[in-house]
Structure 1
Amino acid sequence: MRTVIYKIGRIKVVIVISIIAVLLAVGLNYIFQSFQEVTYSYSSLIRAAVIPLIVAPILSWYLVGLFVRVIELEQKMTEWALFDQLTGLLNRRAFLHRAEQEYYLAKRQETTFGVVVLDLDHFKDINDQYGHKAGDSILKDFGELVLKQIRQSDISGRIGGEEFAFILPNTNLVQSKVFAEKLLAVVSDRVVTIDEQAIKYTASIGITVSFPENDFKINNLIHHADQALYEAKSAGRNCYKVAESLL
């Protein structure tokens, strides 16, 4: 019922309520006159319609407005519970939940999926040099970039301060590498301007892949990708590495 009211819109709902109120008032007045066995008075019917015609729109506009506001607040709370407010990506808890769902789905369908973990390079240095406002701007910029790059079926989330993870359904190792290469390329081209200062940033990536025949749980897969990420950082950053379990 709430969803229907929200979709119909406040104005239309108020109009419908007002019409119903007028019809009820006129109908009850008509029935009352019938039981009283008096001559029908059209003027009394008109008077019966006037009051709800004035009161119903005002009262219903206020009440429906409150109702719509409650729905919007519920939606906002749901969004806050699932998404990181700075980047627009899933928060850690929501990401791990979605990742586990994809894991069991892939098991049933016997398909592979890629697991990618990414960390923004030298992020602490950026915060120290340019301030946390710059750091937040870079995180927001990266979130916008990710949402433009990923497929609708991909799962992306912020799982730490400057650490992100991706689940790529129906994706093998070669395709996961292509994803990482493209992401690194577009990240390296980004420039964020803060207080007239142009700031560039890069990222490091670790990759693993889940195959139907392996028994790695989703946490194990993310851990393997995370280890590969640290290898990428040790190799000089701004690159990707594949988990040793796939080499």
Structure 2
Amino acid sequence: MWTTILDIGTLSTMCIGLGLSLLTILHFHDATQLKEWYFVPVIIFLPLLYSLLSVSKLVFGYVCLYFLLAILVYHYMNRKFGRLYFLLSVGVIIGYLSIVERQISMSLVLLICVNGILVYLATMAVDHFNISKLLKTALSAIVMLGLERLSGYFVPRHTPFTFKATMISAIALLIVLAVIHYFYVYLTKRQAMIDELTHKANVDELTELYNLYHLHQDFSLEQINKTMLFIAVLDLDHFKQVNDTYGHTMGNKVLKVFAEQIHQYFIRELGKNNFTLYRYGGEEFVVAIKQLKGTPIRELFAQLQVEINQINIDDLVEQLSFSAGVACLKAYHHDPLKAFEAADRLLYAAKKAGRHQTIVEQIC
């Protein structure tokens, strides 16, 4: 009795530890780094699977639950990695058995390959069901366990088919799935909290545009800097006067409408992927332009000025306008901070010259 409990505890604890480790690492794996896209997941998977095979060999005298990690990853994390892990599992199992048993028969190799294919097909089919991840994983695991038991009929020395072994495997599997699912729910909630905090840290609450913190983050990324053509700094004219005359509520409303109009204008004229808009200060905005669509930069801002002039806000008598400075990245060897400083100087030159205008750097 105690031996059975110990076997269940040993097998389930090992599977839980390996599953949690694998899911955690993959959850935070940076898929944008192409050089590490497959390298890291493969490197971490191989020793984890080897550990699972070793423990099951220790408990039963043969390997079992060997596709469990692939099933967990397929349903809970990433289908691409799940498919890769099914393929790797077959190779690792064959290699492991070749080491511990010195040599293995072709019938056993064929059996492992067939098992891998059938479990993968079952996992892929179950994934289309409109049920929870826990039930999908459980159904896939049941198929895996059933095929492992059937293997005992074909290669008895590899998988002795006993009721005790089946019971230990099934109970351990239930414990593992319950813990993994609970951990996944916890991980999802924590990630949602992190995403919310990240959003608040990077996005201006009033305008829903990227803020100064996000601007400095973007400007530090070399791959982004090389794609930018222009940096412009815009300032809403006489905003302090609006605040003093109408109050902060109206001031916030004017800022929000101004930001929305700018954003919609650049989406229409440039496309949403060809620019990034930031709120820099109280009434200042920064736009990083990646590509123009035929319209010269001066004409682009001149037309924006016309549209801003036409904004009508209830109870606001003054006509809205802006001042802006535009600098070219190529003039500063694609250094966004230097280009930003130049655009900021041009902005103040535009304000000093009477506002309601855009000064574009001559080299542009």
User: Is TM (by shorter chain) over 0.5?
Assistant: yes
Give runs of aligned pairs for residues 74-223 of structure 1, distance below 5 A: 74-100=194-220, 101=222, 104-105=225-226, 113-150=229-266, 151=270, 152-170=273-291, 175-193=296-314, 197-198=315-316, 200-211=319-330, 214-215=332-333, 217-223=335-341
Structure 1 contact 14–64 (Cα < 8 Å) conserved? no
Q: CA deviation at 1:140?
A: 2.1
**Secondary structure, in 3 states, of the residue corresponding to 2:207?**
coil
Q: Deviations over 1:170-229 (max 9, x none)?
A: 459x72212211221222222334xxx2465221111222336x5584333222222221
Q: Deviations over 1:30-49 (max 9, x none)?
A: xxxx647xxxxxxxxxxx9x
Provide the rounded CA distance (Å) in 2 between the counterparts of 1:182 and 1:65. Answer: 50
Q: Deviations over 1:13-72 (max 9, x none)?
A: 24435657988999xxxxxxx647xxxxxxxxxxx9xxx8xxx99x99987654433222
1:231 corresponds to which residue?
349
Provide the rounded CA distance (Å) in 1 between the counterparts of 2:78 and 2:163. Answer: 41
Q: Deviations over 1:63-116 (max 9, x none)?
A: 76544332222222222232222222221132133235367525xxxxx71221
Provide the rounded CA distance (Å) in 2 between the counterparts of 1:198 and 1:137. Answer: 10
Structure 1 contact 95–155 (Cα < 8 Å) conserved? no
**Secondary structure, in 3 states, of the residue corresponding to 2:274?**
coil
Taking structure 2 as the reference length, what is the TM-score of the superposition? 0.48
Larger gyration radius, structure 1 or structure 2: 2
| Cα distance change on mapping 1:205 and 1:2 into 2, 3 Å | same
Provide the rounded CA distance (Å) in 1 between the counterparts of 2:239 and 2:223. Answer: 30
Structure 2 contact 229–329 (Cα < 8 Å) conserved? yes
Provide the rounded CA distance (Å) in 2 between the counterparts of 1:15 and 1:75. Answer: 27
Q: CA deviation at 1:122?
A: 1.1
Provide the rounded CA distance (Å) in 2 between the counterparts of 1:20 and 1:93. Answer: 45
- One-letter amino acid matched to 2:279: R
Gaps of 5+ in 2: 1-25, 29-73, 80-129, 147-161, 165-169
Gaps of 5+ in 1: 27-33, 37-47, 107-111
Provide the rounded CA distance (Å) in 2 between the counterparts of 1:17 and 1:216. Answer: 50
Give the share of equivalent positions with the same residue, in percent: 23
Provide the rounded CA distance (Å) in 1 between the counterparts of 2:137 and 2:223. Answer: 45
Structure 1 contact 114–171 (Cα < 8 Å) conserved? no
Q: CA deviation at 1:119?
A: 0.2
2:191 corresponds to which residue?
71
Taking structure 1 as the reference length, what is the TM-score of the superposition? 0.67
Provide the rounded CA distance (Å) in 1 between the counterparts of 2:300 and 2:186. Answer: 46
More strand by share: 1
Structure 2 contact 274–291 (Cα < 8 Å) conserved? no
Q: CA deviation at 1:236?
A: 2.6
Q: CA deviation at 1:168?
A: 1.5
